[in-house]
């Protein structure tokens, strides 16, 4: 979905309301999301010492069997019992949890030598307690602790567009498994688009005919498959929210039915489809999209909304979008939707600056981690929470490419932290922070946990993220280049740049000097100017002479635009350069150099995160990296090619 989302970005506060940074605990298990109240205690206890799983009644069998399966994965077989036999055990129960809300998602977890007790305010809370329990296990041992935990927002969602690029069932289930592990509770499933209609209809089988589809011809989800996904989600305390986009994004419908949705005959067909859907699928919500379209039939939205609500389901729509009823839950995708939040009768979900397909991988984790959902520390009756969105508008060669070209899982974990813990800081930022700022320490603590999860849980899944909070850059500029992008200035001519005073020093691996949605979204440079050149430099230590992998990039292409590929012999068509020890690093040999952007032309190697890393020779001792960043105009040649004045340089050390 090509949407100019406008952001909300910020910095961590780590309790339900603003709080100090989490204390560094390098020897403790890395928990994501970090609990609201956490007390570490002395002692590590062997899991094998706990002899059984104890439940208070058979209604908790499902949760007990889940724990039994978790323990079996590490070679431990524990029986499920109804009572303790005066021996250490793991107790699962429902009960009161001292949380600020009555949410059933709250839980308590207490670990001592004699017992492990997981208490859920409801079954969802018990399930989330078990997810934390799993993260606490380290080599068949578990750390003593006392946890009281609850979510800041009730709606913690993730959306995937499988209408434009079909995703197989096993890949969808993989995503759902990750959602469950990190306490996200909404799976927003978008499966109808201009490209294809990918849900079976018994009434209108022509909707999923191969000749109607532009991509992945013949690939769709049967009614039984969607029922299977709904059940798969329910078993993991996740609500599947289906989206049938109407009346916009419906070219596939028009090709199949030979009529527009907003025509009289089209509206009748839509109503029949909705009746069939509501009678077939047990879901509480139905998302109708309704954005990016001219409404020509003023009766369309009121009539479909009334029909869906009569079927006992709540309606969700994109905002800005159509003229919705007050009962319609709005999903915000643009800052233009802010007025919705002042109406206490309208419930809403925040997806502003949560479209990861527009973000650089390193930027995405920073932006989302620092974000402040709905500009609030915690949810309320109107502000339900947020949904992270993945919109791969551009064709991909294979389904897995979505997860290599977009930092889906790294962003998901950052969003899990923020949506569960709440907080954040106002301000639209895209980088870790200025050197010495408190937010740098806060982010680094989270990044340390993130990298441990990458190693432990994502070794067999795409996870395009490298640590960046240890990198400190000095920036020099601005230098007036009079429109000459090749013009040299003293930072690339001097041999001793360290003696010069930097304009600023910042931390991170990706820097956006001026955001293409500026000034609403703030880049690194306070007052960026056209026809200027900036330089950035850092030093990297190497214990020996060695060839090191680097991520290097200058124009991270959105996966939602038909952006051009870089020209041959360039990094970004702006004459940007990177030098290591005064030697220029050659740009990649692009496989489709100079190709004009086309949504049907898959990206191959345009992004550093999905091509082979750049090999850079380091010498023993200190190595100097210098990045040259010239710009001529901030005006892009067209909306598909925004002027992304940015760079990424990260060594794999």
Instruction: Return the active site residues.
Output: 292
**Strand order from edge to edge, sheet including 546-553:** 510-514, 645-651, 546-553, 614-618
Q: How far apart are CA 122 and CA 10, in angstroms?
A: 32
Give me the phi and psi of 43, to 5 degrees please.
105, 140
Q: How far apart are CA 412 and CA 401, in angstroms?
A: 17
In 3-state terms, what secondary structure has residue 507? strand
Give me the phi and psi of 93, to 5 degrees please.
-155, 165
In 3-state terms, what secondary structure has residue 342? helix
In 3-state terms, what secondary structure has residue 593? coil
Q: Three-state secondary structure along 392-458?
A: CCCCCCCCCHHHHHCCHHHHHHHHHHHHHHCCCCCCCCCCCEECCCHHHHHHHHHHHHHHHHHHHHC
Pick from 551, 106, 84: which is nearest to 360 by CA? 551
Pair 486, 575: CB distance under 8 Å = yes
Instruction: Read off the tokens for 526.
Output: 């306070």
Pick from 368, 360, 463: which is nearest to 414 by CA? 368
Pair 432, 439: CB distance under 8 Å = yes
Alpha-carbon distance values, 603 to 362, 393, 559 (Å) = 19, 12, 8
As a residue count, the chain comes to: 653
Q: Any residues with CB less than 8 A from the CB of 352 and at least 6 apart, and which?
A: 5, 6, 7, 8, 332, 333, 334, 335, 337
How many Cα neighbours within 13 Å face the side chain of 410? 32
In 3-state terms, what secondary structure has residue 216? coil
Q: How far apart are CA 629 and CA 501, in angstroms?
A: 18
Instruction: Read off the tokens for 312.
Output: 């006992």
**Helix pair angle (123-136, 61-72), 10° resolution:** 10
DSSP labels for 122-136?
SHHHHHHHHHHHHHH
Q: Any residues with CB less than 8 A from the CB of 9 and at least 6 apart, and which?
A: 353, 367, 370, 371, 372, 427, 428, 429, 430, 521
Q: How far apart are CA 651 and CA 300, in angstroms?
A: 54
Q: How far apart are CA 436 and CA 428, in angstroms?
A: 19
């Amino acid at each position: 979905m090509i949407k100019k989302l406008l952001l909300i970005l910020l910095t961590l506060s780590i309790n339900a309301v603003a709080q100090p940074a989490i204390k560094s605990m390098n020897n403790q298990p890395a928990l994501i999301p970090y609990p609201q109240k956490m007390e570490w205690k002395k002692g590590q206890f062997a899991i094998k010492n706990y002899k059984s799983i104890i439940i208070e009644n058979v209604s908790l069998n499902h949760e007990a069997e889940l724990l039994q399966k978790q323990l079996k994965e590490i070679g431990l077989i524990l029986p499920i019992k109804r009572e303790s036999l005066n021996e250490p055990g793991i107790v699962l129960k429902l009960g009161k949890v001292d949380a600020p809300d009555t949410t059933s998602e709250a839980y308590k977890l207490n670990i001592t030598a004699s017992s492990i007790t997981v208490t859920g305010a409801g079954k969802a809370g018990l399930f989330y307690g078990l997810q934390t329990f799993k993260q606490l296990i380290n080599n068949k041992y578990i750390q003593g602790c006392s946890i009281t935990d609850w979510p800041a927002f009730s709606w913690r969602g993730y959306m995937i567009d499988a209408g434009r690029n079909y995703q197989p069932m096993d890949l969808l289930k993989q995503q759902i498994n990750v959602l469950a592990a990190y306490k996200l509770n909404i799976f927003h499933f978008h499966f109808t688009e201009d490209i294809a209609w990918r849900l079976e209809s018994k009434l209108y089988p022509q909707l999923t005919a191969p000749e109607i589809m532009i991509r992945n011809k013949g690939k769709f989800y049967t009614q039984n498959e969607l029922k299977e996904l709904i059940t798969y989600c329910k078993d993991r305390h996740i609500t599947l929210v289906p989206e049938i986009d109407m009346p916009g994004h419906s070219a596939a419908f028009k090709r199949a039915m030979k009529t527009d949705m907003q025509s009289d005959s089209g509206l009748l067909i839509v109503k029949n489809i909705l009746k069939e859907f509501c009678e077939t699928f047990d879901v509480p919500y139905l998302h109708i999209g309704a954005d990016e379209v001219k409404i020509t039939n003023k009766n369309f939205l009121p009539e479909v909304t009334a029909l869906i609500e009569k079927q006992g389901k709540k309606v969700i729509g994109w905002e800005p979008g159509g003229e919705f009823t007050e009962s319609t839950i709005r999903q915000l995708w643009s800052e233009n939707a802010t007025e919705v939040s002042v109406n206490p009768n309208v419930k809403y979900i925040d997806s502003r600056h949560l479209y990861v397909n527009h973000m650089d991988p390193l930027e995405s984790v920073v932006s989302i981690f620092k974000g402040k959902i709905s500009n609030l520390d915690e949810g309320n009756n109107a502000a339900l929470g947020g949904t992270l969105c993945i919109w791969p508008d551009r064709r991909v060669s294979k389904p897995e490419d979505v997860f290599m070209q977009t930092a889906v899982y790294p962003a998901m974990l950052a969003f899990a932290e923020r949506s569960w813990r709440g907080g954040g800081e106002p301000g639209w930022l895209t980088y870790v922070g200025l050197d010495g700022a408190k937010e740098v320490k806060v982010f680094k603590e989270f990044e340390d946990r993130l990298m441990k999860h990458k190693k432990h849980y994502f070794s067999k899944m795409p996870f395009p993220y490298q640590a960046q909070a240890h990198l400190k850059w000095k920036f020099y500029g601005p230098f007036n280049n009079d429109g000459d992008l090749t013009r040299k200035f003293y930072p690339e001519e001097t041999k001793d740049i360290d003696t010069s005073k930097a304009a600023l020093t910042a931390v991170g691996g990706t820097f956006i000097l001026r955001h293409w949605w500026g000034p609403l979204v703030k880049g690194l440079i306070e007052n960026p100017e056209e026809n200027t050149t900036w330089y950035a430099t850092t030093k990297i230590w190497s214990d020996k002479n060695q060839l090191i992998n680097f991520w290097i990039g200058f124009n991270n292409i959105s996966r939602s635009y038909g952006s051009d590929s870089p020209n041959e012999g360039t990094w970004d068509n702006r004459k940007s350069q990177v030098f290591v020890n005064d030697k220029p690093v050659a740009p990649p040999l692009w496989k489709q150099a100079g190709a004009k952007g086309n949504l049907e032309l898959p990206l191959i190697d345009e992004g550093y995160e999905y091509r082979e890393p750049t090999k850079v020779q380091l010498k023993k001792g200190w190595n100097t990296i210098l990045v040259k960043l010239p710009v001529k105009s901030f005006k892009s040649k067209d909306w598909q090619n925004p002027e992304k004045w940015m760079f990424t340089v990260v060594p794999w050390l």
